[in-house]
Chains A and B, each alone.
Chain A
Amino acid sequence: MSQKLLLSAKDLHIILFRLACQLKETHGDFAQTLLVGLQPRGVRLAERLLHILENEHNISNIQLSKLDITFFRDDFRRGDKVLNANDNSMEVGVEGKRIVLIDDVLYTGRSIRAALTAIDSYGRPEEIQLLTLIDRRFSRHLPIQPDFCGRQVDAIQNEHVVVCWEEEDSEDAVYMVNK
């Protein structure tokens, strides 16, 4: 197993600041916006972006929810793994909201398809956008593309993109791991 550094802590921070700016340009005061972090790894990214928007751009009252897609995945009973669920916290209604789905890595697009269905069970949003930190291009199984993207990466099938966060993994970095 070998690993290659894709983004250092500094690169990652520059990208996070840029993504926050892009969100602000599109969503203004975020009054009608709901940020939705996908469980488990997208939530940390969403929290980081929220932190920047609140502290660097002085926007308060931004709403953030966590969405778990386990019960909506299309590979249930198809792999060897049992799919265990994570918490949902979708107390804020989605009806009429501008949703930004946030996940760390966009790969086949199947998680996002599941998330789009999962969001549906909470109501009918005005629109749904997608923000991902890493876009593994040329590997999509479905016609899904991000609206906001941190970095595009070309990776072959047995390569794996791992996003590390200081809060959980003791460093901010993104690696490409070859299995």
Chain B
Amino acid sequence: MSELSVKHLLGIKYLNEADIRLIFETATQFKEVINRPIKKVPSLRDITIANLFFENSTRTKLSFELAQKRLSADVINFAASMSSLKKGETLIDTVNNILSMKVDMVVLRHASAGAASFLAQHVDATIINAGDGAHEHPTQALLDTFSIQERLGDVQGKKVVIIGDILHSRVALSNIFALQKLGAEVKVCGPKTLIPKHIKSLGVSVETDVKKALLWCDVANVLRVQFERMSASYFPSNREYTAFYGITKSMLDALDKKIVIMHPGPINRGVELSSEVVDSDQAIILDQVENGVAIRMAVLYLLAAKK
């Protein structure tokens, strides 16, 4: 009988390889559950979960909510736009108010890096990080690596390139940690202005030529350009970004192997990926979304088991 080594899911950084493998094994079982005629199990029927989204999200929120409902948990949702935060309440006060309503777990998305860790230290509930600023987005990295394992059999020894806006991306950082813990080789690729200065200290290599990166890799995880997080100009124009870093079908056809294309969504069609690539059989973007529910069910289940 194995269990997670952590009480909260704050980042991939705090998980070990056995934790990730346990989450994958459990997610495989939940994937079977969500393909049954009745896609619900009673495991979390005595648990109440609050989804606190201080930052906008569509698929992560839907995916978490669906995972919670499939596990029979009671769910309350909170969006910052409708909250008393605008009236000056602090994060801890907001969360403690919600916890007084007998909530057992909190799924938190926040624009500040470290918000989830901060909450975990100050409130009495299991915290799951659903994205904190440009820091971590652990469930996304878990579902990405799970999808790679599903498509290629294993993550160990695979070459994965993360392409795009690495600087503003929590998906990139969590993916780097997860891929390395599972034994993959990681490269990042993008314009120099969008690659953090000290990224090499994480043990990843850097490439600025996307064609070379594609030639090297087994899997390309293509990130969205996060216009909303950019406070300065990091590249001249969208068209120029697409000309240098956009991936087209002809670029993939020119390779001597069939690489796997991933994207955490939402996609800017025609910017980082051409429509033809998005809809091709090399893209596993929709598998990632399906696996997202199974992975989140596994995380909720395994954390709830820790009491």
A residues whose Cβ falls under 8 Å from a Cβ of B: 68, 70-72, 76-77, 81-88, 90, 117, 120-123
Contacts and interface: CB of A to CB of B under 8 A. Distances in A.
Q: What 10 A-B pairs come out closest when comparing CB atoms? A: A71-B41, A121-B38, A82-B3, A85-B29, A82-B305, A71-B43, A81-B1, A121-B36, A88-B32, A76-B43
Contacts of B9: none
A124 to B, nearest CB: 10
Given A71-B33, A77-B307, A122-B36, A84 B41 contact: no
A55 B36 CA distance: 33
A76 B29 contact: no
Interface in B42-95: 42-43, 46
A84 B1 contact: yes
Interface in B1-51: 1-3, 22, 25-26, 29, 32-33, 36-43, 46
Given A81-B1, A82-B302, 5 more contacts: A76-B43, A82-B3, A87-B32, A121-B36, A121-B37
B252 interface: no
Chain B interface mostly: loop
Chain A interface mostly: loop
B304 interface: yes
A139 B182 CA distance: 46
Contacts of A72: 41-43
Nearest to B1: A81
Given A71-B33, A76-B305, A77-B46, A84 B2 contact: yes
Nearest to A77: B307
